[in-house]
Structure 1
Amino acid sequence: MPALHQPARNFKLPSLDGKQVELWDFRQRKNVVLIVLRRFSDEIMRRLILPISEAHKDFAQADAEILVVVSENDSSSESLAQLNAQVVIDHQNQPSNTYLNGADFGVFVIDRYGELLRSWQVNSATELPSTRKILHVIELNELACPECGISRWPVTGYEIGLGLSFPISVHPRVLSGSVTNLPVDARTFRQIIKIRELCRNGREDMPDGVALQTALRPTQ
């Protein structure tokens, strides 16, 4: 299995409609939530696939594509064709063998540069991560801004909605001042992501290295 913060292993597989889909097709464009299923069940659909599919607008807002890999035996399931996700068929168990490391199910968060940010390999549907946790990993990574000196955010142990607060400081021309102990919620993440994008796009009113100087450390 690829190591964390290393390039994800590429593969090319047919989709349900016969189109060839390559993991690296998304590089430089999209984050990817890769779901690899050695076997498929109603419980997996209920606990993981459907919640992620229903949250497709949230993932799209985070510039994330959902890619589901199923075995050839499971590819005829009608429910798969109704998902808001790309579904590809693993004819020869290539991604299953590469990514699952003997497990039955796996969820992998890959950034737009092809780096593996987080992974879960489990044998029970009850051990699968929540949609919120998966989305949170992507959102934290989207806050990373190498141009501003923040190359990577910690992703373990933080979850939206738990009431954690973090010291956040932004350029005053963006938010008219500094904000500290700002609650972490989806709206806050989206605002900061917009700030990050302004910084990356080289806004003239933002001196380099000043637009987004942040530190992710929970206040006690």
Structure 2
Amino acid sequence: MLVSCVSGAQLSNYATFLTDPPMAPLSIVMTSLSTATAVFITPTLSLLLIGKKLPVDVVGMMSSIMQIVVAPIAAGLLLNRYLPRICDAIQPFLPPLSVFVTALCIGSPLAININSVMSPFGVAVSFLLFGFHAAAFIAGYGLSGLAFRMTDDVKALQRTISFETGMQSSLLALALANRFFQDPLVGVPPAISDQIMNVLDRGKSLVEV
């Protein structure tokens, strides 16, 4: 539920840039709108979907999303605008640092809960998440094809929307899980989601190529 409530992943922008560069601005706009509204949408959806079974701190979630997502983006934009030389200096180090930090964030809950991950629980969660992301990719691709079938370069538009609907910000879901839910198992689905999302994205790109 928490994975489905978060905003679209920034990885969708990169995937769109690799497959359909002219559609990259559209992908960035969609992700930006999804991210900006996540401050209110994610806590609200979490309350509606999870609140009946677990306590949900709506105000706390809003504050955390502001700190985790909105504040760094705003800081990055300001830094790029007013201190471009610093941005140019640190830019080569950011991609490997991002990969390293992401690996630590995803690997930590999986390693801590390795017995549960390797149990029927982990297998069931993996199948559920695989189905969730696959359905989101397919729905985004198919429904956009119906809605925009008369549009020029409709296939590129379908791929762009499919990336946006199928990719969730699993790291944000993981951060919220660790912050607001005491059970360490709550962090397992977002961690698995990130891995499944990458596998589906690569497979989808290979099929389309």
TM exceeding 0.5? no
TM-score range, shorter chain: under 0.3
Instruction: Considering fraction of residues, name the structure with more helix.
Output: 2
> When the two structures are superposed, what TM-score results if normalisation uses the length of structure 2?
0.24
Larger Rg: 1
TM-score (norm 1): 0.23
Q: Which has the higher contact order (CA 8 A, sep 6+)?
A: 2
